[in-house]
Structure 1
Amino acid sequence: MGKKRSREDGKEAPPGDADAGADKMDRDSSDEAGHRSQAADFDMVDVEFEWFNFDPETDFHGVKSLLRQLLDVDANLFNMSALADLVLSQPTIGSTVKVNGKATDPYAMLTVLNTFEHREKEPMKDMLKYLVDKAQTNDSLSAIPRLINGGNHVGLVLSERLINVPPEIGPPMYSMLMDEVEAAVEDKEPYEFTHYLVLSKTYREVESTLDVEDRKRKKAKETSSIYYFHPEDEVLHKHAVAHGSFRYTREEEAVADSKRAFQEMGVKTFGHMILMEASKLEGAVEAINAYLSPPQ
């Protein structure tokens, strides 16, 4: 793995509670520790990931693309450029993960925004209305509107990565985010949250409708099983006050067949929210590290 600079130039970001995989981030780049990913019938590929602070000069398009992927079909409800700019306006909080140096597009990102601090800015105002409206469609998420409308300082966590990026990059990102928020609070910056609200997504497999003649144009049937794009979400559930999924506003525009990947079943995506008390973050990060960090 590569290194990420901290809030002060010239220093490396602390790995926090991450285990072997993240600990190696403190070492020289010559001490290479690439993650390996493998798909059936494909060769092993060594990839060295590098962690960076957000950079408005190089990351706008990459961050905008990842945010659009996170919001799925509902991305068009928002000014995505403005949302990307808001993320990039706080370069010392959160991380991007890249492969070929700082000037390339990120493969993954993680950040947190203060919902109260930015409440009057267009992208946050639109996002808060959206989250409140969606939370009201699921009784499991009923605590979220009360917190947001009550003027609480809630940290909105935005995390996304390309579909083929291994989940092992998650633990270092969360560890660094926790350390950066702690440092920001010490510097009297507005990151002292009462809760964290993680915006994520889930999916269900549905019967494909590609072969319409054979299937007589039968409407795709949803299965009951829920799957997670981000495996760490299941860990966060154990530390959460509330969690639940919601339907996208523009879900009819989604085409499950287009998301098939060498399988017979299509995919139907849903939005997902996880609400966690700020005091639970440290334990949650430790659990994510234990669950996802690569073996030594």
Structure 2
Amino acid sequence: MAAPVKKRDFEKRSKELDNDGDGSSSSNEDDSQDVINEQGMEIQVDFEGRNPQDPDFHGIKTLLTQLFLKAHVDLGSLTDLIITQNYVGSVVKQSEDLEESDDEESNANDVFGITTVVNISDRQNVPCIQQLRELLKQLASEHATDQANAMVKNLLENDSAPLGLLINERFVNIPPQISVPLLENLISEMRRSCSKKMPFDFAYYVLICKLYKIDETKTQTKKSKQKNTEDPNIIWSNPEEEIFAEEASVSFEFSVQKESDSGLSGQWNESDSEMIPFRRVIIFEASKLLSIISKIKSQLS
């Protein structure tokens, strides 16, 4: 039985919400600055966290699609699972007072972020869980070091150390500070669930992060002229996930350029460096989650 809707209010932000369905945004401004939309008007937005509900299905699935792209995972079933366990996790939506507009029905179903966890050591008879496990094994086999691959295989073949898939996804123009109350709330809900003997007591978490790198093959000439020998710049789609990566026990990454990820859009000049989309899979100890959130709070405040 679905839990009642609970709301968590977040700080008011001036942001351009350009939700075109693929996670893209035409803005990459600092979160503390006002953002002006195409009509030159500032949009004031109140966000709040709510438990996932049935009307959020399409919005959640869209966010999962921008993360998993063309991976062989039934994202519809995974979305259903997230909604079914809606006593854990939050979706980010506009506050109700902002939904009183001509587009009220549409805005009410808009989902701008999802933060939750899925136990992938449990319910292995569920097809989408099986697919997630196989995906992690395949990716680790193809892209991880021997050490990382061995750890992934051990966690998935020896379920004595429960593994949770941490989902921390949102559209790129949502400020990273919003992740702190979402993650803090997730911890509280997992604790309550564990007290009721529900399977949310994890030994490790796995987090799939979106990041972008400069295409070195197209910037080599420019680098030689500038005598720039630094490593390529990395842009994290969710900046707080760089802090997660610092605490990883193991990690590996891979390009998803061929899967046509459009997570960073906007107007680009010919002189701009092309950004190649990557995914980085990190695994970290569950005992570190609280300290990671504290670091995020201090570094992004």
User: The TM-score by the shorter chain falls in which range?
Assistant: 0.7 to 0.9
**Does the 8 A contact of 1:260 with 1:267 survive in 2?**
no
- Give the total of aligned pairs: 251
Cα distance change, pair 33–159 in 1 and its aligned pair in 2 (3 A): closer
Q: Hey, what does 2:258 align to over in structure 1?
A: 252
Cα distance change, pair 106–61 in 1 and its aligned pair in 2 (3 A): same
For residues 80 and 10 of structure 1, the distance between their equivalents in structure 2, rounded to whole angstroms, comes to 23
**Does the 8 A contact of 1:138 with 1:246 survive in 2?**
no
Q: Hey, what does 1:61 align to over in structure 2?
A: 58
Q: Hey, what does 2:197 align to over in structure 1?
A: 188
1:49-98: CA deviation from partner (whole Å, max 9, x where unpaired): 01100112x111000000001113x24x2222112112111001110001
Q: 1:196 Cα shift?
A: 0.9
Q: Hey, what does 1:228 align to over in structure 2?
A: 236
Is 166-175 or 101-110 further displaced after alignment? 101-110
**Does the 8 A contact of 2:66 with 2:261 survive in 1?**
no
Cα distance change, pair 129–103 in 1 and its aligned pair in 2 (3 A): same
Q: Hey, what does 1:269 align to over in structure 2?
A: 277
Residue ranges of structure 2 left out of the alignment (5+ in a row)? 17-26, 30-34, 97-106, 219-230
Cα distance change, pair 159–10 in 1 and its aligned pair in 2 (3 A): closer
Q: Hey, what does 1:85 align to over in structure 2?
A: 80
For residues 259 and 230 of structure 1, the distance between their equivalents in structure 2, rounded to whole angstroms, comes to 12
For residues 149 and 97 of structure 1, the distance between their equivalents in structure 2, rounded to whole angstroms, comes to 34
Match of 1:48 among 36, 46, 49: 46
Task: Find the residue that maps to 2:156 and give its secondary structure.
Answer: helix
Which amino acid is 1:115 matched to?
A: I
Identical aligned pairs, as a percentage?
26
Q: Hey, what does 1:176 align to over in structure 2?
A: 185
The two structures, once aligned, show a CA RMSD in angstroms of 2.8
Residue ranges of structure 1 left out of the alignment (5+ in a row)? 1-6, 14-24, 26-31, 210-222
For residues 162 and 63 of structure 1, the distance between their equivalents in structure 2, rounded to whole angstroms, comes to 11
**Does the 8 A contact of 2:184 with 2:293 survive in 1?**
yes
